[in-house]
Structure 1
Amino acid sequence: MSTDEIDEAIDWQGAPVDCGQCPHGELLAEGRCKPLRACVFDRYARRIDRFFDWNPKLARLYLAHPYFEVRAWAAKAAEIFLLPALLDDPEETVRWSAARRLPDRYLLKLRNDPHREVRIRVAHRLDPVDLLPMIEDRDYYVRQVVARRISPDLLVLMIDDDEIEVRRVVAQRIAPQALKRMTTDPDATVRFEAAQRLDAALLPDLIGDPDWRVRYEVAQRAALTDIRLLLSDEDPIVRETAEARLGETPDPSGRKVLERNHSHIEERI
């Protein structure tokens, strides 16, 4: 007999489970519950879950149980029309257990849920068009998920986000016509993300960027007539890339230098 690695049956208040006091005594005789395996009064979540798997029709009776694990697993099995009331449950586990089974329109209510994990899950599941109110969420990771999913045209609303990792996602996805604004970001990693997507014709404006990765992008993709200043760049990879493209190396094609620098760039980044 599996014991789920816990060889005791304790209820949610810390008392031993007593099958003799259980209101579902008939289930034990029918094999529809089992000590240490499937029990609604055991505090171990897997046993509660298994009880409702074996007895889904009883789930409706436990949606208001004082132990949150019981309510959460009951929500997994109960009739769906009973679940909207659980969106106001004090426990986030219960709220999400109900929400994951309800139509997406019910998730709109949880966009302002007090618990970040619920809002993260909501942001992953909602249609992108419904994420706009979440672009100012107080948790940076929620905003990061939103930045990955909303329309690129709406990302202009997140250009000035306080969190660097959010702005990096914005730079990776924002519509091309707004990308130039990200090249003046105070953080070098954000500017580099923007530089990698920027139209080559606009790269010369970044030739004086203080970060070598941004200047490398200029040396690698800008027109030859615009990269001569980089021949004296302080960074050897930037300088050698410009030299290779302008043919000012022993290898006229510059191919070997460019290939070598391309492998070095990933190591340094």
Structure 2
Amino acid sequence: MTDIDEAVDWRGNTISCDACGYAALLAAGRCRPKHACVNDRYARRIDRFFAWNPTLADTHVRHPHFEVRAIAAKHADIFLLPPMLDDPEEAVRWNAVRRLPRRYALRLRDDPHREVRIRVAALLDEADLIPMIRDPDYYVRLMVARRVGPGLLARMIEDKEPEVRRMVAVRAPVEWLIRMAADADADVRYEVSKRLPGDLLARLKRDPDWRVRFEVASRLPVAQIADLARDEDILVREMVASRLSPPTTPRTLEPAILEPTMLEIVS
């Protein structure tokens, strides 16, 4: 993919290399118009500039253009990063915190931007995720549900978001699943039905979702599935029929006795 054929700064003004303070870099081949330029409004070009000149990042952590600050945070001295956690732009805060010790990420558990909180949830240890179990954004809670152990998953069994509860059903200890068998969401109950031991599936025989009943019909002990033979769904009925039907023994054919041909009789 080729770069856009324009050189415009973040204010919309045409960039002039003659007025730039980095003319020496241009002469040395360490920047290039429309390709690697800290004054350009395109992030890719700013990123190239700092990739070619990482030592200049320190002087740009307070630049008025947020793209410059965000990319400078990827290269600047680590001791310059803590104040950037209070930057008004989420990209700056995230690029700063990802390079800092984990304890700094604790400050961003309540970040106003969901994308920052989602990424922070992927960084923190389990004990530090406890406050995020009640995050207002469902995807943050989903990230937490993917990472915490059984002790904290128990607190999320009744999460208001079905997708979060579904993840709990996928990861929770089997002995907890019976508590989720009556969940209001069909996808959650389906995940439960796939993991419940066969002898506990009977309570899901009348589930309104055919996928759940199909799982029951396929794994419940055979002695308990006869009434599902009248299920409203044909796939459930076929599964029951296949399990109730006795296995057929292949019939052994007697070897055929061939009549002699006329040619054989004559000879």
Whole-angstrom CA distance in 1 between matches of 2:99 and 2:80: 11
Structure 2 gap segments, 5+ residues each? 250-267
Provide the residue aligned with 2:201 in structure 1: 203
Whole-angstrom CA distance in 2 between matches of 1:205 and 1:9: 67
Whole-angstrom CA distance in 1 between matches of 2:72 and 2:203: 60
Residues 41-94 of structure 1 show CA distances to partners (whole Å, capped at 9, x for unaligned) of: 111211111111121111111100110011011111111121111111000011
Whole-angstrom CA distance in 1 between matches of 2:153 and 2:123: 19
- What SS is found at the alignment partner of 1:12? coil
Whole-angstrom CA distance in 2 between matches of 1:26 and 1:243: 82
Shift of the alpha carbon at 1:104?
A: 2.1
Q: Higher helix share goes to which structure?
A: 1
2:6 to 2, 5, 8: 8
Query: Could you say what the CA RMSD is over the residues aligned between the two structures, in angstroms?
Result: 1.8
Residues 150-200 of structure 1 show CA distances to partners (whole Å, capped at 9, x for unaligned) of: 113321211111111111111111111211111100111111110110011
Whole-angstrom CA distance in 2 between matches of 1:153 and 1:226: 34
1:30 to 28, 31, 36: 28
**Partners of 1:60 and 1:78 within 8 A in 2:** yes
Shift of the alpha carbon at 1:219?
A: 1.2
TM-score, L = length of structure 2: 0.87
Provide the residue aligned with 1:48 in structure 2: 46
Whole-angstrom CA distance in 2 between matches of 1:43 and 1:209: 57
2:139 is aligned with 1:141: yes
Provide the residue aligned with 1:222 in structure 2: 220
Provide the residue aligned with 1:163 in structure 2: 161
AA matched with 2:10: W
TM-score, L = length of structure 1: 0.87
Provide the residue aligned with 1:236 in structure 2: 234
2:122 is aligned with 1:124: yes
**Partners of 2:3 and 2:34 within 8 A in 1:** no
Whole-angstrom CA distance in 2 between matches of 1:139 and 1:68: 25
Provide the residue aligned with 2:258 in structure 1: none
Shift of the alpha carbon at 1:98?
A: 0.9
- What SS is found at the alignment partner of 1:77? coil
**Partners of 1:153 and 1:175 within 8 A in 2:** no
AA matched with 2:33: P
Provide the residue aligned with 1:262 in structure 2: none
2:73 is aligned with 1:91: no
Q: Which has the larger radius of gyration?
A: 2
**Partners of 1:244 and 1:252 within 8 A in 2:** no
**Partners of 1:203 and 1:218 within 8 A in 2:** yes
AA matched with 2:191: E
Whole-angstrom CA distance in 2 between matches of 1:147 and 1:168: 10
Provide the residue aligned with 1:194 in structure 2: 192
**Partners of 1:60 and 1:74 within 8 A in 2:** yes
- What SS is found at the alignment partner of 1:135? helix
- What SS is found at the alignment partner of 1:76? coil
AA matched with 1:178: W
Query: Which aligned segments of 4 or more residues in structure 1 are displaced greater than 6 angstroms?
Result: none
Total equivalences in the alignment: 249
Shift of the alpha carbon at 1:26?
A: 2.0
58-67 or 137-146, larger mean C-alpha shift: 137-146
**Partners of 2:3 and 2:35 within 8 A in 1:** no
Provide the residue aligned with 1:182 in structure 2: 180
Residues 203-244 of structure 1 show CA distances to partners (whole Å, capped at 9, x for unaligned) of: 112112222221211111111222122122222221222222
78-87 or 31-40, larger mean C-alpha shift: 31-40
**Partners of 2:206 and 2:213 within 8 A in 1:** yes
Whole-angstrom CA distance in 2 between matches of 1:7 and 1:238: 61
Identity of aligned residues (%): 59
